[in-house]
Structures are given as structure tokens and as C-alpha cells.
Amino acid sequence: MGKSTLLNALVGQKISITSRKAQTTRHRITGIRTAGTTQFVFVDTPGFQSGPKRRHAGALDRSMNRTVLGSLSEVDAVLFVVEAGRFGPADEQVLQRLPQSKPVLLLANKLDDFKQRTDVLPWLQQMGPLHAFAEIVPMSARSDADVQRLLTILAPHLPEQEWLHEEDALTDRSERFLAGEIVREKLFRLTGDELPYTSTVVVDRFEEDRTPLGARQVKVAATIVVERDAHKGMVIGGQGERLKRIGTEARVELEQLLGAKVFLELWVKVRSGWADDEAHLRSYGYE
């Protein structure tokens, strides 16, 4: 759906990872955008798992669904993101779970896939009767003009109250968490469809200090967790080249994000059945 790309555009900085692999988002991530007198607090949730259950991922799917439903009870408005021109059974199941008592804005994302924006109008007319949407917003998360327009449309649906965060805040997630997510993004991007969905990254150590000249430096040690020995080989690659590339790309992005020199160490471990084990999920930071 391009949901994480949208969150990053709304915040103005990358805080949520993206990849072509479906269901990349696994945790609730808060993004904050303060514009003038208005502070927007966006809660990016995992996609709701409504289709056939992935083998050995039952506990992980349940964890993500708890995160989604818990978030719906806490927010003031809902941005229901779908791909413009498409609405399938999985979208319908999510729509049925949206609250009737809160404004729901339908975001028809990826409008840039259409040759002309007017081509989406017949589909939008079909979507209108499906729910009492407060707004229907066709847009592209890659268009800054569309993102600014969405902020303007959303603002009147939010309550008037004191800001919840400092003016310069971007997210409530720690740098340690973001480090693990960036490694996981590179893992998914560089393995493509080879690596099964049930893989994750655990940050074992996150330490920072200063050089004698006062420059910030960060040392990160992380473990890539896979389910089988064959998956471990996929991640490491021939002569360790793929793992090296994952580490290099993650380190470069982390240095940009943290504004520091980063030293990154990666290991790969096999933990069979971790995605269907509640205790393992909690130890790896899942809700």
C-alpha cells in the first residue's frame, strides 16, 4: 500500500522502513510532524493479518493484529490506506474493523501509477458508499503537494489540546530501535523473495561515546534471526558478500540518521519456530 513511505513523507524524515516485501512493518511506530500551531501524531501500524496464516508465523501475526486493534482504540482519526484502483477481500475485512465513532479518511495511495489522475474517478465513486468516510483523498505519497494537502484536510478532524511532544520531535522510538529496523530493511531488500517472511533483527548492543575531538560515534551489534540453516546461507551469501553488503548499506544509512560515525557488527543465528513462539516474540521486542 505504500503506508510506510507515506508516514516518512508526512513526518519529513525516514523513521519507518520500506521494502517490496509485503508486511514490512511489524511494530507500532509513532511519527510526529509539527507545522505552525498544529502537531500531528501519526501511528503507523502493521498491516492487519486477515488472509491465510503463514506457516510457523501464527504468534507473530497475532502480535501484529493486537497492535493494530489496540491502536484503533487510542487514536482520534483513522487514515485507511489502500492502493488506488484496488480494493480486495483483505481490504474489506480491515474496513469492517474500523470504528464507527471516529472519522475515517480513505487514502487512495499510489495515484502516480495512473497515466491521468482523472482515471481513478470511477473507482472512487464505487468506494464512497462502502463507509461513511469523513474524507476521500486520492494521492501519491511521493508527491509533496499531495502530502501537504493531506495535512490540511486532516487538521480539522483532530481535537484541540496541548501538544503531546516537543516541537522538534520526529518519533517516540529510540535510536536503538531504528538501528534494528534499518538493518532489517537492508536484509529484506537485498534478499528479495529468497528469504522467508519469518526473519527478524535483534539489537544486542547499542553504545555511544565521543572521540577525543568530541565527535559522536556509535557501536551497534545486531543479530539476524532466521528459521533454518539454509536461510542463514542465503543471508551470508557466497564468501560472506551478502552479509557484508547488508552491513555496509545499513551502516551508511545509520551514519546519516544518527549524525555519527557508526561501527556495525552483524551475526546470523538460526532459531527454528521463533515466529510462532510467544516467549521468543517478547524477548525480541514484539508486543
DSSP string over 234-281: HHH-GGGHHHHHHHHHHHHHHHHHHTSEEEEEEEEEE-TTGGG-HHHH
Distance between CA atoms of residues 208 and 195, nearest Å: 32
Distance between CA atoms of residues 125 and 139, nearest Å: 15
pLDDT at 18: 65
Residue 270, Cβ neighbours under 10 Å: how many?
13
pLDDT at 49: 52
Distance between CA atoms of residues 181 and 26, nearest Å: 10
pLDDT at 273: 79
The DSSP symbol for 112 reads G
Distance between CA atoms of residues 54 and 276, nearest Å: 10
| Whole-Å CA distances, 83 to 1, 156, 188, 242, 279 | 5, 24, 22, 32, 35
CA angle in degrees (0–180, nearest 5) for 40-133-70? 55
Distance between CA atoms of residues 217 and 26, nearest Å: 28
Q: Residues of 89-119 as b/e, b for ≥16 C-beta within 10 angstroms?
A: eebeebbeeeeeeebbbbbbbbbeeeeeeee
pLDDT in tens, the chain (287 residues): 678 889 889 998 888 766 554 555 556 788 999 998 999 999 887 666 555 554 445 665 666 666 666 667 788 999 999 999 999 988 898 888 888 889 999 999 999 888 888 999 999 999 999 999 999 999 999 999 999 999 999 999 999 999 999 999 999 888 999 999 899 889 988 987 777 667 889 999 999 999 888 899 999 999 999 988 889 999 999 999 999 999 999 999 999 989 999 999 999 999 887 666 676 666 656 65
**What are the structural domains of the chain?**
3-157 (3.40.50.300), 175-283 (3.30.300.20)
pLDDT at 227: 86
pLDDT at 3: 80
